[in-house]
Amino acid sequence: MHPAIIRLGPDHRAAAVATLAAAFAQDPALCWIIPDPAARARRLPLMFDWLFDDHLERGLMLGTPDCGAVTFWRPPGQVHYRTPLYPRHLLHMVQVFGPNLLRGAKVGDTIDAHVPRGEAALYLRYAGVRPDLQGKGLGGQTIRAGLAEAARLGVPACLETATQSNVGLYQRLGFAIVEEWDVRGRGAPHFWTMATPGATPGADSAA
């Protein structure tokens, strides 16, 4: 029997960060942003630690009690929020991405342009399962908990993924492909924007 999905809080920081850093170690977008595996292993925990704070303040984090499966969501009203680049935030971004900061900014800006329009949605920003627990259905269970929250709020859910093998999983969970697009640059990742019924395509697709 699978464990219950709970809302994660401050006490889950270390385990949640470790799970997401391990789960995204081979993510196509992050591999392009930080090509060196050793640098990626050092920098991803810093990135997810920062994102944990961001979602603790203005997001929703759902997962198993041991954080074997973790999802980070942006709720309605926060879908397109971006942290202002005050000096301390910019310094932190440099610490996270180092010499790869421009690549990170390019991917982030392009994702932002394709997030479905409007604030009436629940946006799945990150979903990961600890590698030793993958294939057991925990990821789907955790995402379905977020979809139940979207249904409670009466809004669609949306996401973007650069991992082709995830597309079928999301389709089985009720997401449909809204569009496919590429980040500009040699070897840059290809993305799928996906949403449950009711989401409006992002600005680029409407142009």
Give CA–CA dist 110/122, Å, rounded.
19
The pair phi, psi for residue 155, each rounded to 5°, is: -130, 155
Alpha helices in 2-99 (DSSP H): 13-23, 28-33, 37-58, 87-97
Report pLDDT for 196: 96
Asked whether the beta carbons of 76 and 19 are under 8 A apart, the reply is no
Match domain 6-206 to its CATH number in 3.40.50.800, 3.30.300.30, 3.30.710.10, 3.40.630.30: 3.40.630.30
Report pLDDT for 81: 85
Those residues with Cβ within 8 angstroms of residue 184's Cβ, 6 or more apart along the chain or in another chain: 106, 110
Report pLDDT for 51: 94
Q: Which of 13, 6, 29 lies closest to 125 in space, CA to CA?
A: 29
Report pLDDT for 207: 30
Report pLDDT for 95: 86
Report pLDDT for 199: 73
CB atoms within 10 A of CB 79: 20
CB atoms within 10 A of CB 44: 22
Give CA–CA dist 5/16, Å, rounded.
13
Percent helix, strand, coil in the chain, to 5, is 50, 20, 30
Those residues with Cβ within 8 angstroms of residue 83's Cβ, 6 or more apart along the chain or in another chain: 54, 89
3-class secondary-structure state, position 25: coil
Give CA–CA dist 7/25, Å, rounded.
24
Full pLDDT tens readout for the chain, 207 residues: 678 999 999 999 999 999 999 999 999 999 999 999 999 999 999 999 999 999 999 999 999 999 999 999 999 999 988 877 667 777 888 888 999 999 999 999 999 999 988 899 999 999 999 999 999 999 999 999 999 999 999 999 999 999 999 999 999 999 999 999 999 999 999 999 999 997 777 754 433
Report pLDDT for 206: 35
Tokens (6 digits) for 199: 């989401």
